[in-house]
Each structure stands twice: as structure tokens, then as C-alpha cells.
Amino acid sequence: MIGTIVNTAAIIVGSFIGGTIHKGIKEEYTHVLYNSLGLCTIVLGCNAAISHMKESHWPVLFIMSLVIGGVVGTALKLDARAKSLAKHAGGEGLAQGLTTAVLLFCIGTLSIVGPMNSALHGDNTFLYTNATLDLVSSAVLAATYGYGIALAAIVLFLWQGCIYALTLTASGMLTPEMITEITIVGGVLILSTGITLLNLKDCKTLNHIPALFVPPVFFILKHLWESFF
């Protein structure tokens, strides 16, 4: 778990640095940061989704995931609830910032495969690399949204901790196929946050977060079906 702890600490440090800079940034420069973040997020999302699409053996799964996840998230009112909580913590803008931060920090090959390598082989290389990237990303995000971005560190710790624990107890379930499908869905969600950041359309990305859990459920059911039949 040392790699995950380092990754979590990197986000907290980056958020502190960015949050300190945030206090002295003029509004016109804040607007530029919003646009830059939006454009970068769109590029990262497209890259994650498209680059893994060719590896997918279930090209319709990500569509099913987004539809099912969107319906479930909307029924649970995840976007509205998160914005309400963030509004009390630091404003509605923080909700969008945290959505972007959580997706960027958690949905990526390094953040998913890293804890698996750590659990199976004691190799934290991926997590240390991810920590370096997240240090920079959290500083940029916090420079735009403030210290509240540090809250994303809690989500990252729980996310990677769950992957670490699951790998130790049921490593056979976390297959490369599952990781590919989760990454494709995650890439689309990251793209969605970029569109929202640029004020092109409020995609209510948080309502689609349950989509990330559809691929694991699909592969677990598939595994059970093949085991019994």
C-alpha cells in the first residue's frame, strides 16, 4: 500500500501548492485555466477511450454501461447531491473541479494497474509514476478551484485500496479485458467533464459514475455463467 499512500500524499501536496497560488490569480487568468483544463481533459478522455477501443472484445459494452449507469445515477440524483455537498464546502465550482479531479486521478491505466502490481509483485513503479503526474495535475486543478481539490485524495485512496484488496483476494477477477472496458468508460466520462468545463453542455457527469461498475458486474456474471454452464 506504500505506493497508494505516496500517490495520495502527492495529491494533497499538489492541492496545497495550487490552492496557495489560487489566492493570487486574477479572474481573467482563472478563465484561461478553465479553458486549458477543459481542452486537456477532452484530449485525455478521447485518448483513453479511443486507444483502448481497439483492444475491446465487447464494443457495445461501453454503450450499455453509460446507458445503465446514467439511468441509475439519475435515479439516485448523484450530480445534484454532490453539488449540494460541495456548495456547502466551497461553492458549486468545487463540485465540477472534484468531478474532474476524481476521474483524472482514478480512471487511468496507471491508477488501476498500479495497485494490482503492488499487490501481486510488490512493484510500486506505476504508482510512483502516477503520483508524479497527479502532483502536477492536482496543483493545476487547485490553482483553479482551491484547496478543496485535496478531497479527491480520499477517493483515490479508497479506489486504489479497493483494487489492492480485491487483487489480493480475487486476482483472477481483475482481467486485462475488464480493465480495458473500465478504461473506455472512464475515458468517455473524462471527455464529458471536459465538455462541461468548456461550458459547451452540462453533461452531469456524476450521474454517469455508476457506469464504471457495469463492466465488472458484466465480467463477474460472465465468469459465473462459464463456471456453471
Dump pLDDT digits (tens) for 116-126.
889 878 889 88
Whole-angstrom Cα distance, residue 207 to residue 116? 27
> Residues with Cβ < 8 Å from 126, sequence gap 6 or more?
3, 110, 113, 114, 117, 118
Q: Within a 10 A sphere around the Cβ of 104, how many other Cβ atoms?
A: 26
Whole-angstrom Cα distance, residue 154 to residue 137? 16
Whole-angstrom Cα distance, residue 45 to residue 221? 28
The answer to whether the beta carbons of residues 189 and 209 sit under 8 Å apart is yes
Dump pLDDT digits (tens) for 43-80.
888 988 898 898 898 889 999 999 999 999 999 998 88
The answer to whether the beta carbons of residues 217 and 150 sit under 8 Å apart is no
The answer to whether the beta carbons of residues 176 and 93 sit under 8 Å apart is no
Does the pTM of the predicted model rise above 0.85?
A: no
